[in-house]
A and B are shown apart, each in its own frame.
Chain A
Amino acid sequence: MLRWILGGREAQNSVEKSPVLCIGEEQPKNCFTELQVLKGHFDIVRFLVQIDDFRFASAGDDGLVLVWNVESGERLQELRGHSQQITAISAFSCGDGFTSLLTASSDRSLSLWDPDTGNRVQTISDLQSSVKCLLVLERLSVWLSGGQELCVWDKDFQLLCHRQKHSDTGVAALVELPKNCVAAAVDKAIVIYRLTVSSDSSVLLDEVSRCSDHHDQIRALINVNDGMFASGSHSGELILWDSANFWNVAYEHILWEESHPSSQTEIRLAAPKPSEMSIQHLTSNGRLILAAVGSGLYVYDVVTKAVVAYRKAAHDSNVLHTMLLSDGELMSCSEDGSVRMWEVQDLPLAAEPASAGFFGMWTFGRSSKQPGPQSKKVLEIPNLRTLELTGDLIGHSGAVQMFLSFREKGLVTCSTDHLLILWKDGERQSRLRSQALFQKLEENGGL
C-alpha cells in the first residue's frame, strides 16, 4: 500500500517505475525547515481539530484526545475517557468565546471536554450506535450527531430530537446549509433536513428534500459558499448543489483515463479500480474546489464550472486530506506518508515543453512522459493550468491521515505511525528564539 519513493540511490533508479514526480532535495519554496515530533498516542492518529490560535487537539484509535500547544509543542492536556477509537471530533464554541471539545467514539458514547482543565464536562454513553459525524450549529446552540440515526442535542447534552435509521450505512457526513437546513450524506443520496425551533425550544427535524444523483456512495460533502455545496462519490462524481433549492448545479465525472494518452495506460493494464477515482476529500475556498481523487488532485472552479488544474499522480497512494491555501497554493497528504505542497501555475508556453527539470534533480525513467498529457490537455481546454509541486514534507513512516495549518505558526500532521509532527518555519522560529533569548537576558540582567 505504501509505496515510497526510493530516490537518491542510483541502484534503485532503474527499479523505479512510478510516474509519480519527485521534487528532490532542493526546495527553495518550502519554508518548513524545522520540525518537532509530538509523541503521546498509542495508535493511529486520525483527527486534528483547532481549538484556538495556539491550541489544537488530536484524537485517534487509542481513544485518547490530546491537547497541544502549537507554539511550544507542549502537551497541555490528556483527555482520557473513551475506551475505543474516536470516530468524530469537533470544536464546540457556544458564543461565549469558550471552546469545548466534542468527541464521539466507537464505544457508543459522546463526550464534551473542557480543554483548559482536561475535565469531561458532559458525557452520554450507551447510544444505540456509534456516531460517525458531528455537526455544531453555533447559531442555534445545538449540535447534531450522525450515525445510524441522526440526533439533535443542545449544549447541555439534552436530546432534542432524533430520526431513526435511514439505511445500513447511516449518515456519513453532515453540512450546515442556510435557513436552518442541514445536508446529510446517506449512502448514495443527500438528504436535506430543516430544523425548526418552536417557541417552547423544542426542535423538529423535517426531511425537506432527497437528492439522489450520485451513482455511488458519497464520500465527501462540503459547503462551497453561501449558495452552493458540493459532494463527491466513490466513483469520482463531483456534484455541485444549489444550497437554496437543492438543485444539481454542475456534474463532473472525473475519469482520469479520458484525458490521458494511451501510452499512459500501459502501466495500468486493467480498467481503473474504483478506488483510483474515489473522491476521498473535498475542500473549498468559496471559488475553487479541491478534490482528492484517488492518488490525484483535481481543482475545479465553481464560477466557470470548469477544471482549473489537475494532477493524476500527485501522490504514490491515496490522498487522504487536502487544503487550499491562498493564491492558488494547495496542500495534500497521502497514504504514502508525505505531505505535498502545490502551486497552481500557468502552463509554460506550448512551444516550451514542461521539462523534467521541474520535477527535481533526480531523473526517473518515466518522468519524461509526464508533460505529455498536459500539453495535450492544453489543446483541449484553453485555460487549463498546471499543478506544480513546490515542496514535500517527509517525516512520517505511515500514512498521513490529516493535517492542520496554523498559518505562519506551522503545520501539524498526524499519521498512522502514532506520531504528530509539527512543521515550522525555521527562520521564524529562530527569530522567536532570539527574541526570547534577549528577553531572558534582560530579565536575568546579563549572562
Chain B
Amino acid sequence: MTVCASAASHASLSNNTMIGSPDVVAFTKEDEYGQTTQDPLGLPEEFSIPLYPLADSNPWAKTSYAKFTKDFILISEFSEQVGPQPLLTIPGDPKVCGTFDLNYFSLRIMSVDYQASFVGHPPGSGYPRLSFVEDSRVVLGDSKEGAFAYVHHFTLYDLEARGFVRPFCMAYVAADEKKIMLQFQELSLRFSQASECLKAGNRRAFAKELQRKLQDLEYTHSVLQREEGLQREAGPQCVYSAHAVEKANELANVEKSIYEHRDLLKQISAYHWRPRRDPHAVSCQKCMTECLRECEELLDKYAKLANPRGYSQRVPKGEGDEIQSDDNRGEEEVDEDDDEGNKRRPSYTPQLIKAKSAKCFDKRLKTLQELCEENFYEATVELLKETERSFRGDLCYLYTRRLDKALRRKQKMVNFLFEADLIDDVQDEAETLRPFCAVNHAIDNYMHLNPPHIVLGSEALELDGLKHQGPLGLACEAATTQELGLLGSHLESSPSDQTLETQGSSEGTKESFSSDKSGTDQTEKQESLASINTEGPDPDSDLTPEPDQNTYPERESSSEDMETTAGEDDCGTEQDQTPMSLLEVVSELEARKDDECEVGTHSELLVPMDTACCRAQEGFLYEAADPDAVPCLSPNSTLNPSKVLVVNQEPHALHPIQDEYRVGSPCSEGPPAGLELPVGVFGDAASRSSIEDGSDCTMSASTGSDRAASPLGYGGSVTLRQRKKAGQGALRFVRQYSFAMQALWCLLSGRTLVVLGADEGRVRRLVSALALFVPNPGKSGERVQPWLSCPFTLIDLHRWKLIGLQRVASPAGSSALYSLSRYSRYISILDADMKTLRCPQYRGQLLANVADHRTYIRRGSTYFLHLQSALCRLVAKAFLLTFTHHLHLPVSPTEGPEAVEARRRGFLQEQLGLDEEDGQILLYLSRLIAQRYLQPANSDYCAAIPCFSFNYVTSVLYKI
C-alpha cells in the first residue's frame, strides 16, 4: 500500500504542476516509514492477512454532512461558451445528488487549470498543431460541501473548438476522503480506462470529421477552380478583375486549408507513436491499430489534392440537384447505394464552405456523445457505471471484500469446494495485466476481418474499394454495421440456430440469448426474424424457465418464513427489518445491489428482444409476453427510438466487466443444468410477480424477490443475501433435526443424500438448506438436484450428491422406491415425512460444532459465517492431507502401501485428532482436491467427475 500510495502521489504530482488550489488534498501517508521488520515466526506474506490499513481510525463511514446520499460519478466539461458545466452523473438518478450543487462543483473541479500547453500555430511550423495532452489525476476536496472527489481531467479533439481541444473531466465524488485516498490507484486505473476509451472513440470521430471537412474543402476547391476557369475564359486574358483576384485568394485559402487539415489528419494518425508519459494510459491495441489503419487510409486518400475532375464530373449533377429538395437527393443517394447492395450507409454530400467561419458563440458545440463514436461512448458509460457499482459501500466493506478476494485468490486450489466462484477475480487480474478496452472486440471482430470501409465522397472510389474487398455482400454488410456503429456479431449468430433447440443447458440458453442479441443489420434482422418464426415455438419459450428458476424457491422461502415465525425460533424474519450489526448493514447494502443487479439482469434478459426484430416490428410480441418487464426495458430500449438498430448493451456473455459485478446473475440467467424441472402452474405467476418485485428498487428486504432459497450452495456467485437465507435454512435444519450431524457427515464425506418426501415444498426447502454442505457443488449447483420425481439411476448418483426425491404412492413411485433400495448402499436417505435418516453410523466429533442442535446461534448470517469458518478449517486440513507427500507415497523403497496407509491413519487420528468417520470427510475432500488438481484445465463435465467412490458399510436408522 505504501508503495502504491507513493507511486500515485508521484504520478499526481508529476502531472499536476499547476495546481494551486488550497483544497487539493495532500496525498501522503502518515506511516510511510513505518515498521519494516518482519516476525520470523509469522506466516509467509502471501498467507497472512494484512491489518486494516488505518488501524487506529474508525473504518466505518462517518456521518457526513454531504448533500448527496451516495457516491457518484460526475462528468463535466469546460465549455468555451458557458464555462464549466456538468454533463452527466452516474447513476443518473437525480435523487443521488440531492441538493448538491453540481454546477458549483463542476466549476471547482474544472477550475484546476491543469494543462496549459500551447495550442494553435507554434512558431516555426506552418500549420496548427494538435496538442497531445496526457490525462491528469487529482484529488480535490470541498470541505464546506463535505465532498471529496477524485478528478480525472482529459481532453478531446473537436475540429470546431478553440485549439481543436475541449477539456473534460470525470470525477468520482464521495463524502469520505479516506475512501478516495485509499482507492486512488484503483480509481485512477478505471478512470484511465474510461478516458482511453473515450479518447479512442474521439480520435476516430475526429478523423471522420476531418475527412468530411476535407471533402468539403475539396469540393469547394473544385467549384472555385471551375468558376475561376469560367471567368478566365469569359474575361480578357491578361486582365485580372478584382473579382478574379478575390476568387484566386479564396482558392488559395481553400488550398491552404486543405493542407492544414491534411496535416491534422497526419497528426492524429501519428497519435499512437507518441511516447506516453502516463503509466496508466494503456490503450487497447486493437482500437489503436484500427484507428491507425483508418487514418492511414484517409491519409493516402488525401495525400495529394484530389483529382478535381472527380468532382467536376459530378458537379453538374450536383448543381442540378440543388434545385431539388434535400429529400429527393437523399433518396437518390439511397438508390445509388442500393445498387451497390449497400443500403444503410449514410453518405456524405460535400458542401461548399464559406470563407468566413461562423462566430464562436453562434455555433452549437458538439455533445460528448457526438465527440466520440457511439459505441465507444456507450462502452465508457457502461464502464463508469460499473466503476460506480464496484465502489459502493464504505471503506471497511470495500476493504474486507478486497481482502477476502485476495485471500481466496491464494487458495485457488481448494476454493471450488465451498467458496463462491472467483470468476470476477480472475477477470480483475486479467484486466490489470492486459491493456483494457471497454469496447467489446469479440463482437466487432467480424468487422476487422473485412477491413473497415471509410466512406468517401467519390462514388467511383468507393466502388473500387468495394471491389477490392472479398465477397461483395459481406463487405457491404461490414461497412454497414461499422458505420451505423452497430455491434453485429456474425460469428455468434450461427450457433443460435443450434442452441435454440438444445436441451437447455445453462450454457445453451445463455448462448442463444447472446446470439439473439447479435443479429443487427438489415439482412440479419430478417434472418433472425425468420429463424425465430420458424425455429422455436416462440422466443419466450427460451425465457420462461428463468424467471421460474429463481422465483420458485422464493415462493418456498416466503412460506418458510411464515413457518418459522410460527415455529420455535425467530431467526427468520425479524432481523430483516432492523439491521443491527455491520453484517446486516452490509447485507442490506448487498441486497440493494442485488436488487439493482436484478433490474439489470431483467433488462438484460430483454435486451435480446429489442435488437434483432424488435421494437419496431415485433415489439408487441414481447410486451404481450411479459408486460411487467417493460419498465425495466426502457432505459435501454427507449434511449434511441430512432436508432432501433443500435444495440445498447453488448451481449452479456462477452462483456468482461459486466460479469464481475453482476453477482448472482448466473443463477438467474440460465437455469443450471441440474435444476431444470417442471414447475407447477403457478410458477408463471410467481415469476411475473418476482419481476415486478425485482424492478422495484425500494422494496424492503423482507418481501424478498431474492433467489436465496434456491438450492444453490456456494456454487456460482452467490450474493450475501442468498447466503444469509441459506444460512437460515441450514440453521433451522440443524436445530430441528437431531440427526443433522449425521446428515451433514454424509454430505461432507461424499455419500449421496436423498431427501425423500411427498411435499415438494418441504423437500426443496430441506435440499436448499443442505446444499450449503455439498462440497464442490459446481458453478451453478450441478451436483444438487432439488426435486426429482422419477426413479434415479446410478448415473444420477454419480452426478448428484444431494437429491430431493418425490415420494409417490403410485406404481411409478414404487419404482422410485425400488431404485432407493437397490442403490441403498450408495446413498443415505433422509425421509422428510417420517423424519428419519438412514445412513452409516457417525460417531465423530468434528461436526458437533457445526451441527449442534442446541446452538446459541440464532441468525442465519451468523451461522453462515460460523459454518464458513468451520468448513474453511476443514478445507485447510484437507489441503494439507492432499499435498503432504509422505502421507500418500512411501518414503523409502522398502516401504509397502500398508506402511503409508498406517502413516496416513496416524496423521488423521493423532495429528489431526480425527475419528474414523471424520477422517473420511478429509479423505473425500482430499480426493476432490486431487481430482481437481489432476483434471486438465478445460475438461468437460464428465471428466470433472471421473468416478464415484463409496464404501461398504452398514447403515442404521436415525429417528428424531
Contacts and interface: CB of A to CB of B under 8 A. Distances in A.
Interface of A: 4-9, 12, 24-28, 30, 33-37, 39, 72-73, 337, 361, 391, 394-397, 417, 419, 421, 424, 426-427, 429-431, 433-438, 440-441, 447
Contacts of B821: 4-9, 12
Contacts of B953: 25-26
Contact of A34 (B818, B885, B948): B948
A109 B901 CA distance: 53
Contact of B954 (A24, A431, A434): A24
B822 interface: yes
Interface centre among A7, A430, A433, by most chain B C-beta atoms within 10 angstroms, is A433
B947 A9 contact: no
A444 to B, nearest CB: 9
Interface centre among B817, B923, B933, B952, by most chain A C-beta atoms within 10 angstroms, is B952
B793 A440 contact: no
B409 to A, nearest CB: 13
Given A9-B817, A434-B930, A447-B413, A429 B883 contact: no
Nearest to B824: A8
A433 B946 CA distance: 12
A437 B933 CA distance: 7
B822 A25 contact: no
Interface string B939-960: 0000000111111111100000
A30 B952 contact: yes
Given A9-B817, A434-B889, A438-B885, A394 B948 contact: no
A434 B933 CA distance: 11
A421 B794 contact: yes
Contacts of A24: 954
Given A25-B825, A447-B883, 13 more contacts: A4-B822, A5-B821, A9-B820, A9-B821, A34-B947, A35-B947, A37-B798, A391-B952, A394-B823, A426-B950, A430-B888, A434-B930, A436-B934
Contacts of B883: 437, 441, 447
B927 interface: yes
Contacts of A4: 818, 821-822
A6 B817 CA distance: 9
Interface centre among B798, B820, B923, B947, by most chain A C-beta atoms within 10 angstroms, is B947
Given A7-B824, A361-B954, A437-B882, A36 B948 contact: yes
Nearest to A394: B822
A437 B946 contact: no
A426 B949 contact: yes
B795 interface: yes
Nearest to A31: B952
Contacts of A337: 822
B473 interface: no
Nearest to B943: A74
A20 to B, nearest CB: 14
Interface string B915-947: 000000001000100110110000000000011
Contacts of A391: 952
Nearest to A23: B952
Contact of B930 (A26, A27, A433, A447): A433
A37 B798 CA distance: 8
A434 B794 contact: no
A97 B882 CA distance: 40
Interface in B786-845: 793-795, 798, 817-825, 838
B947 A429 contact: yes
Contacts of B825: 25, 394
B897 A437 contact: no
A25 B824 contact: yes
B544 to A, nearest CB: 30
Contacts of B889: 434-435, 438
Nearest to B882: A437
Contact of A37 (B795, B897, B900): B795
A241 to B, nearest CB: 42
A72 B949 CA distance: 15
Given A5-B822, A73-B946, A426 B934 contact: no
A433 B931 contact: yes
A12 B930 CA distance: 41
B817 A434 contact: no
A66 B341 CA distance: 52
B510 to A, nearest CB: 25
A434 B888 CA distance: 6
A419 B798 CA distance: 13
B897 A431 contact: yes
24 contacts: A4-B818, A5-B821, A33-B950, A34-B947, A34-B949, A35-B950, A36-B948, A37-B948, A72-B946, A391-B952, A394-B823, A397-B793, A397-B794, A421-B794, A426-B949, A426-B950, A429-B949, A430-B923, A431-B897, A435-B889, A436-B934, A437-B882, A440-B934, A447-B883
Contacts of B948: 34-37
A434 B946 CA distance: 15
A261 to B, nearest CB: 31
A37 B794 contact: yes
B817 A36 contact: no
Contacts of A396: 794
A7 B931 CA distance: 33
A431 B823 CA distance: 26
B956 to A, nearest CB: 10
Contacts of A431: 888, 897, 900
A26 B954 CA distance: 5
Contacts of A25: 824-825, 952-955
Contacts of A6: 818, 821
Contacts of A419: 794-795
Interface centre among B825, B934, B955, by most chain A C-beta atoms within 10 angstroms, is B825
B888 A28 contact: no
Contacts of A421: 794
Contacts of A426: 949-951
Contacts of A39: 795
A27 B952 contact: yes
B794 A33 contact: no
Contacts of B933: 437, 440
B751 to A, nearest CB: 12
Nearest to A9: B821
Contacts of A30: 952
B619 to A, nearest CB: 45
A36 B948 CA distance: 6
Contacts of B934: 433, 436-437, 440
Contacts of B946: 36, 72-73
Contacts of A8: 821, 824, 838, 955
A39 B941 CA distance: 14
A286 B138 CA distance: 92
Given A4-B818, A8-B824, A397-B793, A26 B952 contact: yes
Interface centre among B817, B824, B889, by most chain A C-beta atoms within 10 angstroms, is B824
A73 B943 CA distance: 10
A396 B949 CA distance: 15
Contacts of B931: 433
A423 B36 CA distance: 58
A434 B929 CA distance: 11
A286 B436 CA distance: 74
A26 to B, nearest CB: 5
A319 B406 CA distance: 59
B834 to A, nearest CB: 11
Nearest to B942: A39
B949 A33 contact: yes
A404 to B, nearest CB: 18
A30 to B, nearest CB: 5
Contacts of B927: 430, 433
Contacts of A37: 794-795, 798, 948
Interface in B234-273: none
A440 to B, nearest CB: 6
A36 B927 CA distance: 15
Contacts of A417: 793
A12 B821 CA distance: 10
